[in-house]
Amino acid sequence: MGHLSRIIAPVAIAAMVAPAAVQAADDVEALRAEIAAIKAEYAQRVTALEARIDQLETTATTAAAAPVEPPPVPAAPARTSSAFNPSISVILAGNYADLSQDPGDFNFAGFMPSGGEIGPGERSFNLGESEVTFAASVDPYFTAALTMALSAAGETGVEEAFARTTSLPAGFSVKGGRFFSGFGYLNEIHAHAWDFVDQPLVYQAFYGGQYGQDGLQVKWLAPTDLFLEFGAETGGGGEFPGTRLGRNGLNGTTLFTHLGGDLGDSIGWRAGLSWLGMDAEDRAYEDVDSAGNAVVNSFTGSSETWIADATFKWTPASSTRRQALKLQAEYMRRTEDGSLAYDVGGAGLNDSYRSEQDGWYVQGVYQFNPRWRFGVRYDELDPGSTRIGLVQSGDLLAADFPLLLPASPSRITTMIDFSPSEFSRLRAQYAWDDSRDADTDRQLLLQYIYALGAHGAHKF
């Protein structure tokens, strides 16, 4: 029995192993067949790709030898029933003013008046300047915009009316018509987008507000990683400190360059340098003589201004409260050289005149909540050195030009505003204004701004 079991056991084991060995052999053959099929498929694909490369090389050679066809003319956009309707936006603004000094006596000590000084405005409730803007694409080559300003007195004026190119090559663009000049930082920004109720003192004293040009502007945006922009303007030059000249030709040339970029994900910056040059003929202003009699004087000569600006914005990328900080500053230096006529309707005296004057401001606005912001601004003006030929010659006294006597205008302003939405803003502003030769004017201004209709994004 033991002998029989020794025979049966190997036979049984062999019977069990034999089918497994046969199955393994079949699997190996199947894998080998699959590998062979994959190799054949890849060989076919490589052959097809090589044939396609040969075809493309032949096509490229043929195209290079063929004459170059001019680029097709861009097709005009399809017109729909609303295609001729421009986007329309309306800005409504107003304020309440509580002033400790009479706004009717407002002037900048040490500076020739521009004739358009606004200062803090009138006391009590005031309807501010409202704006109506029409803007649209004209065709594939131009866009155009018209902004009408409606004053509280019911007067209507044209703030901007221009057309701008959209398809010039190599980063160039041209704007023509009436527009706010591109020098500095704040000048191009409309009033409803300011961070304070009013402009810095230097803008009011040097330009009588925003400087507008009737003419042409050319810009070039460099193809660099950093924002690098160059611009030039020229035109009629009829805005203060220039005048319309009594001859054909251009007056008022502006050159500017702006550079900007990002520092990480949270910081953006921009800096610029600008130059503004123009001529003035009989630029008149009202004054009083040393005896208190009203006189009208006038300046004829050249006016040149250098402007440096810098803006810094910080918004933490990980902030869930949408916090933001904006720092902004501009410095301006103006030189005027020519002649000054005294009492043009009476004595009619005339002699040389030269002045070198400075002005600057720095401000910071902190958004501590998605709807709330707080800001502080400091302004300062320096009448600098003024040389009046009629005084140096002994013909008149310095007291005969009281508006040009040395002074140190300055102002400190604080504000807080609340924006219920992106279309409305309520603001409270308080300022200590020492910009005129009088006691400090303590100014409380409450402002509202409402935007209706379509409105484009504001500049950086």
* Tens digits of residue pLDDT in 91-108: 999 999 999 998 888 888
Taking Cα atoms as reference points, which of 362, 392, 396 lies closest to residue 380? 362
DSSP string, 174-240: EEEEEEE--SSSSTTS-GGG-SSSS--HHHHHHHSSS-EEEEEEEEEE-SSSSEEEEEEEEE---ST
Question: Which pair of structure tokens corresponds to residue 31?
Answer: 């894998």
**Would you list the domain boundaries of the chain?**
87-453
* Helix (H), strand (E) at residue 194: none
Distances (CA, A) of 202 to 271, 336, 365: 18, 16, 19
Going by the DSSP 8-state scheme, the letter that residue 120 receives in this structure is: T
Question: Which pair of structure tokens corresponds to residue 382?
Answer: 């320096």
Return the minimum-mean-pLDDT range out of 3-17, 48-62, 414-428: 3-17
pLDDT at 9: 47
The yes-or-no verdict on residue 271 having pLDDT over 60 is yes
CB of 411 within 8 A of CB of 445?
A: no
Is 406 strand, coil or helix? coil
Rounded to a whole number of angstroms, the CA Rg of the chain reads 37
- Residues 248 and 172: their CA atoms lie apart, in Å, by 28
- Residues 411 and 378: their CA atoms lie apart, in Å, by 6
Query: Distance of alpha carbon 36 from its chain centroid, rounded?
Result: 67
Q: What is the pLDDT of residues 205-218, one digit of tens each?
A: 999 989 999 999 99
- Number of C-alpha atoms within 13 angstroms, CB side, residue 243? 16
Q: What is the pLDDT of residues 336-364, one digit of tens each?
A: 999 999 999 888 899 999 999 999 999 99
CB of 438 within 8 A of CB of 105?
A: yes
pLDDT at 90: 94
CATH of the domain spanning 87-453: 2.40.160.10
The yes-or-no verdict on residue 71 having pLDDT over 80 is no
Q: Which residues are CB-neighbours of 188 under 8 A, at least 6 positions away?
A: 180, 181, 182, 459
pTM: 0.80
Averaged confidence pLDDT in the chain: 86
Q: What is the pLDDT of residues 44-56, one digit of tens each?
A: 777 777 777 777 7
Q: Which residues are CB-neighbours of 182 under 8 A, at least 6 positions away?
A: 188, 217, 219, 231, 233, 254, 256, 274
Query: Average pLDDT for residues 412-431, to the nearest whole number?
Result: 96
- Residues 106 and 110: their CA atoms lie apart, in Å, by 13
